[in-house]
């Protein structure tokens, strides 16, 4: 596992928060498989691996960026499926995402200056 500086997010965690907020805006909360489908639809890739996604979800729940709860068992029974674990992005999660996006924007803004200097690398 890569080491992280305190208060930073890994790229998959940023993707989870962005997709989670989009799903949360329309559904009120979201569950893992819907999140995986949304992530895949954003960039046209295959679904994120179960282990990768759920380990990342567990890390950011522990960090206070997401909250999780189990859905009402009656709803799952009516729909004939297992219960889902539902996630919501916390206020801390929204702030962490804004900070990560600002950092990414800052880094991207610096790239043109580097390439404009005409430096070559061999």
Q: Is pTM, for the whole model, over 0.85?
A: no
* Per-residue confidence (pLDDT) for residue 111, from 0 to 100: 60
Q: Which two tokens stand for residue 35?
A: 């999140």
Checking DSSP bridges between strand 66-70 and strand 85-89, what pairing results, if any? antiparallel
What mean pLDDT, rounded, does the chain reach? 85
* Per-residue confidence (pLDDT) for residue 49, from 0 to 100: 72
Q: What are the tens digits of pLDDT across the range 43-101?
A: 777 667 778 899 999 999 999 999 999 999 999 999 999 999 999 999 999 999 999 98
- Cα angle 119-120-122, degrees, rounded to a multiple of 5: 150
């Amino acid at each position: 596992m890569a080491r992280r500086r305190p208060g930073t997010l890994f790229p998959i965690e940023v993707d989870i928060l962005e997709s989670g907020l989009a799903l949360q805006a329309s559904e009120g909360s979201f569950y893992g498989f819907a999140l995986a489908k949304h992530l895949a639809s954003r960039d046209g890739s295959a679904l994120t691996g179960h282990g990768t996604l759920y380990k990342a979800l567990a890390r950011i729940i522990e960090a206070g960026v997401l909250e999780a709860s189990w859905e009402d068992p009656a709803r799952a029974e009516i729909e004939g499926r297992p219960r889902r674990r539902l996630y919501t992005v916390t206020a801390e999660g929204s702030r962490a995402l804004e900070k990560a996006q600002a950092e990414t924007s800052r880094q991207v803004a610096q790239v043109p200056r580097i390439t404009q200097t005409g430096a070559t690398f061999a």
